[in-house]
Chain A
Amino acid sequence: MSIVDTRTPDPKRFISGATGDWEVVIGMEVHAQITSNSKLFSGASTEFGAAPNNNVSLVDAAMPGMLPVINEECVRQAIRTGLGLRAQINLKSVFDRKNYFYPDLPQGYQISQFKQPIVGEGTVTVSVGPDSKGNFEDIEVGVERLHLEQDAGKSMHDQHPTMSYVDLNRSGVALMEIVSKPDMRSSDEAKAYLTKLRTIVRYLGTCDGNMDEGSMRADVNVSVRKPGGAFGTRCEIKNVNSIRFVGQAIEYEARRQIGILEDGGSIDQETRLFDPNKGETRSMRSKEEAHDYRYFPDPDLLPLEFDQAYVDALGKDLPELPDDKKSRLVSDLGLSAYDASVLVSEKAIADYFEKVAVSRDGKLAANWVINDLMGGLNKAGKPIEESPISPDQLGAIVDLIKEGTISGKIAKDLFEIVWNEGGDPKELVESRGMKQVTDTGAIEKAVDEVIAANPDKVEQARAKPTLAGWFVGQVMKATGGKANPQAVNDLVKARLGLE
């Protein structure tokens, strides 16, 4: 396979070394656990957190004479994911055995797809940013393939002084391995790609994307080169389990490789591990120590075949994906590209926003979700799923602003109250007397009183009309902020004869 360089070197991404600029080249293999009730080839449960070896069937434990049977739900999810990556769906694919010995691999082989994967080439559009000016840049990252494979079990080396324990709960769980092309040129791009991939699978509901539970893990291939030069020798950093660590591992690894090359050395192709405590990568095994996996088609399984109509039906039922949602928010609701990007970045946020925005002013809703809600959640360190304010409550606040019942300023106070104490915003406005005064009689009275009490200011304001603002402030103060600011402004100007 020849690798095509799809990117133009861009100095803003270069890493400067002692001998000049360097460019990092990154490709990623992401293992995403498929959301399904049972495993890829057995009926055992996939539930996370069960007691060790509780979710193990005879097939998962590789008992003699056991045979794999494909779980159609996992196939469906892989196809849906492929469609979400705008990728080629292969109507015929083949399962192969990848042979190696390890205690948490009971069969002595992993069933995977080697030569003919279920999904071929696709593309992911990744928004990188924002930069210091708040701008996002869209890049395209190619997907080489997506294939189905079994996960291995887990070896535990800290349970017994001389023995290792094996937990087979994860053994046989369905994974999608999503292989990118080497199209990323900075750790930020790599993080944004992984984030986007996670967003897509969460939108699709094909993987929960929970990296801390191991549902998503990345193998990161890193090499460096002089800008525009030939690809360098790559190192593969195995099993990185957070987006932040992906960034750290790439930064470290690129620096390490640049250091070696600048000292006149050469890079050994090898597999490395990232140590999050030390923030560095270390060698796991060299190319010479690499396994010969002896791939061959699994004779227990027929080729996986389905027709285009099956794929089309899945495509028709696909939920709206982040890129489409973003376009719709911009075109239909008039949101800025930036606001739309923020809102679609996580499915949970988008879902929340859409509940607030439904038949309301989208821009107003977006402001409240992005600034007040997400700001508040950020400060409190809470995910949106744990928001103290529900979409209905925030929607009610937006309604109250929009119909002029409360001013924007009062709304901030109301948001604060609902956040801390809960309650129905409409009732709170009533019971706490927060209603905006729109009764012109009451406002006229207040304006007249302020004008009468401050004849000197009236003189000054007639000479310098901008001083009218002072009167508005006084009236607002006198009405406890409940007067409609626009109405006050109009009246003050009229009484002062400024118009």
Chain B
Amino acid sequence: MTELTKLTIAEAREKLKARKISATELTDAYLGAIDAANEAFNAYVAVTHDKAREMAKASDARLAKGEGGALEGIPLGIKDLFATEGVHTQACSHVLDGFKPRYDSTVTANLWADGAVMLGKLNMDEFAMGSSNETSYYGPVTNPWRAEGSNAQLVPGGSSGGSAAAVAAFLCAGATATDTGGSIRQPAAFTGTVGIKPTYGRVSRWGIVAFASSLDQAGPIARDVRDAAIMLKSMASVDDKDTTSVDRAVPDYEAALGKSLKGMKVGIPKEYRMDGMPAEIETLWQKGIAWLRDAGAEIVDISLPHTKYALPAYYIVAPAEASSNLARYDGVRYGLRVPGKDIIEMYENTRAAGFGDEVKRRIMIGTYVLSAGYYDAYYLQAQKVRTLIKRDFENVFADGVDVILTPATPSAAFGVADQEMNSDPVKMYLNDVFTVTVNMAGLPGIAVPAGLDSRGLPLGLQLIGRPFDEETLFQTAHVIEQAAGRFEPQKWW
């Protein structure tokens, strides 16, 4: 049974099509793995056994008739941020207690239409706010990776920590995730998986619980580049219900894999060489450069001068939008309600009990930066910075650079309940330092595993592309993957 869960999506797809395995078998293998191991990871907050078997049965029926979509019979985990009809959808927040929507998000609807099977809902930082999956109301997720010779539990990163851990631990074939400032790419880097944040507008946001509307974008976390390409193809669509989605044909991303890098120009931004960055990260970056050069790409030094302002600006824009987006969780219509003597007290009680500390912190920051008298100094200034960051990238792309290579994170995975991280929110926020620029500019970014550090923990590289040029990212990431090999955690669970 465990062998089945080791199949990539591409491999399982062939075996299913050839009827060498059934969707039911494959699904049962995953459900068995989840039942056996979820306690160790806390990756799933809800497992939909019956629904999974039902969907697998329907897939088998279609496969038997020689029919079936691109993901027919492939069992997936879904981040709790995506609305799934009749199923636990709580953004891992207490405030959404008991909420089961009557609707499916556009992304999940697309996946089901292509034949995918839902295994359950995956843990995450509350409302996608966090970089360690420790802000979840349902408790932290444990990274399947451990440092060599250590039993210390490590975080899987966040906010899509459940997605990354479940993929790395073979508890699903692939997972949906979302990325507002790095929430796909940082957990992918921490778990040796592949995660892509597509161009803003490539994937519909409809039915995904909103964190920061102008930055949020859904994407997959998968075992390898090919699986990520397969999943994104199914997730992406233009959507009448999301006017920020873009009407562009979704290309066959898989077709980009294996293409030569000859003539491609790869930019290396000097501003991503940070003070205090571990030497191992720098070494990894140099390795990545060498691989791409060996594959025929031209390496050029570039400058993205406003990079240093990205993180502070991000932590103004994202909380500002969040403070407004989260106003709807007021105890009036759904989710948690803690009564009070009047409506104001009911609001206060509900929101005080319903939101965790990190969410409250961001709501307060967001409320502050939008307040009369502070708006110009903070929100408006941050928007100007955002424009400059975008322009930095535009200039580089206009100079002929096709893709930008950077480290994905400033470090490998850190410990659960890490003293340093948890005592200073800004330290935690620094996890996003290489990833937020991409969200601020609305560009696509992919994190691909590139090696292990001295303790045997995975490290990732990030590729940043032109708007809607996810194909180049898959093509280039595939070259890195080929060179670096793939990484699996030692099974301890």
Contacts and interface: CB of A to CB of B under 8 A. Distances in A.
Bound together: yes
Interface of A: 58, 61-70, 97, 99, 101, 103, 106-109, 164, 166, 292, 294-296, 299-302
Name, among A64, A70, A109, the residue most crowded by chain B CB atoms within 10 Å (CB to CB).
A64
A392 B367 CA distance: 64
Contact of A299 (B99, B213, B328, B371): B213
Contacts of B303: none
Contact of A63 (B101, B326, B330, B372): B101
B274 to A, nearest CB: 29
Contact of A106 (B212, B240, B241, B333): B333
A64 B209 contact: yes
Contacts of B323: 99, 294
Interface in B437-469: none
8 contacts: A61-B333, A103-B330, A108-B327, A108-B328, A109-B324, A109-B327, A294-B324, A300-B213
Contact of B244 (A63, A295, A302): A302
A106 B207 contact: no
B244 A300 contact: yes
B379 A69 contact: no
Nearest to B371: A292
B241 A69 contact: yes
A107 B321 CA distance: 13
A444 to B, nearest CB: 83
B330 A108 contact: yes
B214 interface: yes
Interface string B231-244: 00000000011111
B244 A62 contact: no
B89 interface: yes
Interface string B65-80: 0000000000000000
Given A294-B324, A300-B213, A301-B243, A66 B332 contact: no
B343 interface: yes
Name, among A62, A63, A65, A164, the residue most crowded by chain B CB atoms within 10 Å (CB to CB).
A65
B243 A70 contact: yes
How many B residues are at the interface, by size bracket? 35 or more
Given A67-B243, A108-B324, 7 more contacts: A61-B333, A64-B99, A64-B328, A65-B101, A67-B206, A69-B240, A302-B243
B327 A67 contact: no
B96 interface: yes
Main secondary structure of the interface of B (DSSP, over half): loop
Contacts, number: 94
A103 B332 contact: yes
B101 A296 contact: no
A292 B82 CA distance: 32
Contacts of A68: 243
B333 A62 contact: yes
Interface in B309-360: 320-321, 323-324, 326-328, 330, 332-334, 343, 347
A58 B343 contact: no
Contacts of B34: none
Contact of A294 (B210, B212, B367): B367
Nearest to A102: B343
A66 B106 CA distance: 11
Main secondary structure of the interface of A (DSSP, over half): loop
A103 B347 CA distance: 10
A31 B82 CA distance: 37
A177 to B, nearest CB: 20
A174 B110 CA distance: 31
A372 B169 CA distance: 89
B206 A296 contact: no
Contacts of B103: 58, 63
A65 B324 contact: no
B330 A101 contact: yes
A66 B103 CA distance: 10
B297 interface: no
A65 B83 contact: yes
Contact of B206 (A65, A108, A294, A301): A65
Given A70-B243, A106-B333, A65 B328 contact: no
B333 A69 contact: no
Contacts of A97: 324
A36 to B, nearest CB: 18
Nearest to A302: B243
B105 interface: yes
Contacts of B99: 64
B180 to A, nearest CB: 12
Contact of A101 (B102, B244, B327, B372): B327
A65 B107 CA distance: 12
B375 interface: yes
B214 to A, nearest CB: 4
Name, among B82, B214, B327, B370, the residue most crowded by chain A CB atoms within 10 Å (CB to CB).
B327
Nearest to A69: B243
A365 to B, nearest CB: 51
B213 A64 contact: no
Contacts of B206: 65-67
B278 to A, nearest CB: 35
A487 to B, nearest CB: 75
B406 to A, nearest CB: 26
Given A67-B206, A292-B372, A299-B321, A106 B213 contact: no
